[in-house]
Chains A and B, each alone.
Chain A
Amino acid sequence: MNEARQEETIPSPGELIRLIEAVARERDRNAFKRLFTYFAPRVKSFLLRSGLADPLAEDVTQEVMIAIWHKASYFDPRQAGVSTWVFTIARNQRIDRLRRMRSRPGDILVDPSDRPDVSPSSEDIAIVEEREEGVRKALSSLPTEQATIVRLSFFAEKPHAEIARELGIPLGTVKSRVRLALNRLRTLLDND
């Protein structure tokens, strides 16, 4: 059977936390497999979009999943939701890989995703869930052109000049739209 194409049901934020905890406490392989099925294809998609070519993107995806396995006990639901945490791991692994490809042996690389192990209350978790829900709402209420700008400048390592070419608008317009879109996003985030 092709495991990667197995039909998935999308886990809720609360379920993702339980899966991470099962991996952290019991090294639960079934829980890990569910996390893998959900996250690996999305992480790879993110890596492809941010400019890694295919064999490399899949290799880094594997490293991200391995990092999730090893760092599961560092996940702190008072700090962020699981998807956000996985996003930061994918981001850091991508940066590390790009740097390692250019660096000398013996170079030390910092991983800012390390976090202390603590047991949070359900209230703490609710606060984070609410915040992440607010972010989701904020994103979906951005006008399409602003959402596009945020996505392009957020995910792709694209200079404004390139975004301008891609969208066929002047450079100054890109600059002011990025500023506008982020302002609006920030206002929405502050109001959650």
Chain B
Amino acid sequence: MRINHHPSDETLARFAAGTLSAGPALVVSVHLEGCPVCRDRLGRFEAVGGAMLDDMPPAPLAADLFGRTMERLAIAQPSPARRPFTRRQSALGFELPKAMRDCEIGPWRWLGPGFRWSKVRIAGSPDAKVMLLKGRAGLHLPAHGHSGREFMQILSGSLSDERGRYVPGDLDEADDDVDHRPVVGREADCICLAALEGDTRLHGLLGRLLRPLVGF
């Protein structure tokens, strides 16, 4: 399916710089997996990073750093074997994107009629607000706004709101300018990966629904 919604320049620039927080970065990684256009855009922003690295004023180093590095090279193994997979992942009934293979995935939990969520944990980022959401075909989600930015990648099914229709591969960024009332497409259930940035909170009924259950 054709991808129509992509991460913003700012988001990709921050991803390229490594300053996008873990939750949103995971959502963007999933998008990149399926979007050659954004992989190319990312390459350009990374080249900006390369040019900036060249322009960095050299920082003073400890006099023996090179010698110590060579000593460590003499000991270190060329490629440490990846540890076998040990993440706890609940079977959710669909194949997870590769970018999520190191995440812990909780079971589907009830959030409302026809509406389920699953907690996603990222190694080393226990505070990241990330979840999988599943809405029944045709489900109307409560209207809500955001006090920060919400990132959402569609994995299956579709979602529509006042701004457009989102299909698998699409990434939606909604910030405090956006108040929306998403509706799940009638053709199938919709599963998406969503992350809230920093102190982002959802307003409205959806926020009141999520907060006690999801914790954010």
Contacts and interface: CB of A to CB of B under 8 A. Distances in A.
Contact of B50 (A5, A83, A182): A83
Contacts of B107: none
B182 to A, nearest CB: 25
A42 B56 contact: yes
Interface string A97-141: 011111100111110100000000000000000011001100100
20 contacts: A39-B53, A40-B61, A50-B17, A62-B65, A62-B68, A81-B50, A84-B50, A85-B50, A86-B53, A87-B49, A87-B52, A88-B49, A110-B102, A135-B44, A154-B17, A154-B48, A155-B52, A182-B10, A183-B9, A189-B44
Interface residues of A, number: 73
Contacts of B94: none
Interface string B53-93: 11011111111111111101100101100110111000000
A108 B83 contact: yes
Contacts, number: 182
Contacts of B82: 108
Contact of B73 (A46, A61, A66, A150): A66
List of 9 A-B pairs having minimum Cβ-Cβ separation, nearest first? A99-B124, A84-B50, A41-B58, A103-B124, A91-B18, A107-B123, A83-B50, A4-B61, A45-B56
Contacts of B62: 4, 58
Nearest to A47: B59
Contacts of B52: 46, 87, 139, 151, 154-155
B66 A80 contact: no
A114 to B, nearest CB: 10
Given A66-B72, A108-B87, A4 B17 contact: no
Interface of B: 9-10, 13-14, 16-19, 22, 29, 41, 43-44, 46-54, 56-70, 72-73, 76, 78-79, 82-83, 85-87, 99, 101-102, 123-126, 198
A178 interface: yes
Given A70-B76, A80-B50, A108-B82, A2 B13 contact: no
A62 B69 contact: yes
A2 B19 contact: no
Contacts of B126: 102
A107 B48 CA distance: 31
